[in-house]
Amino acid sequence: MDLEQLRQMEAIGRTGSVTAAARELLISQPALSRSVRRLERELGRDLFVRTKNSMSLNPAGQRVLEFAQSTLRGERILRDELDDLDNRERTVRIGTVAPAPLWRLTDTIVRKAPGTVLAPRMMGEEELERALLNRDVDLGIALRPLTFPDMRSAHLMDEALKAHLPTSHPLASRESVIFEELDGLTFMIFRDIGFWWGVCRHAMPRSEFLVQEDRNVFMQMVASSDVPSFTTDQATGGQV
């Protein structure tokens, strides 16, 4: 007895006839009848009450049908669990304090390990440390090397913040500025920028920030207005 025979029994029981089951299973009616006869020989008993024009399950056949249904449900559950296991084995959970390093790491992983599924999460530094210690993430992008047991840190990249100012602004021609000179200006900012959001708020307490949740809306507003914003030397998608 194999799974294919159990699938055939389930189809016969569900459709109510060998002919309908054969049509659904895309095999001929005689081939399905022969398979049923073979199953009966293997089990040593008839499974159907046969008349000239019909056949119906007898008590033994009904019990085999119940067994087939239960086994096939178990098979589906097992396949789902194996698929989940395969996905977990191919999934790398990443916690990061900023988006640009994640872009860099994603590009590296995609090139070196095609087929890997990435599950990134933006989080604060303390949350990232807890996630690493609790094994809730597989990789962490932090601001500084972390010296936890059984973990190794490596330098990924450096990132510098840049002020994006309209050409008419007095500071626009400067090669460099400091936060104190920007403090008090109104800035457009995208919320999901990781630790940079905290840096800006802390360094410019007198500034007002127009926070946008949707990146597309944010990019459109930056492009169509003279409101200052920020970018970094690693940003690939425009202002942050």
- The structure tokens listed for 150 are 């059984």
* pLDDT tens track, the chain, 240 positions: 889 999 999 999 999 889 999 999 999 999 999 999 999 999 999 999 988 777 889 999 999 999 999 999 999 999 888 877 766 677 889 999 998 899 888 888 888 888 888 889 999 999 999 999 998 999 999 999 988 888 899 999 998 888 889 888 889 988 889 999 999 999 998 888 888 988 999 999 999 999 888 888 888 888 888 899 988 887 654 444
- The structure tokens listed for 37 are 């006869």
Taking the CA atoms of 25, 27, 32 and 33 in sequence, report the sign of the dihedral they define.
Answer: positive
Gyration radius (Cα) of the chain, Å: 32
Residue 236's pLDDT is what? 53
Using one digit for the tens of pLDDT, what is the confidence trace for 70-109? Answer: 999 999 999 888 877 766 677 889 999 998 899 888 888 8
Angle between helices 18-25 and 3-15 (to 10 degrees): 120
C-alpha–C-alpha distance, residues 18 and 54, integer Å: 9
Angle between helices 59-90 and 29-43 (to 10 degrees): 100
Beta-carbon neighbour count of residue 104 at 10 Å? 15
* Residue 213 main-chain phi, psi, to 5 deg: -90, -30
Total residue length of the chain: 240
* Helical ranges in the chain per DSSP H: 3-15, 18-25, 29-43, 59-90, 99-112, 125-133, 179-182, 195-203, 215-224
Residue 65's pLDDT is what? 94
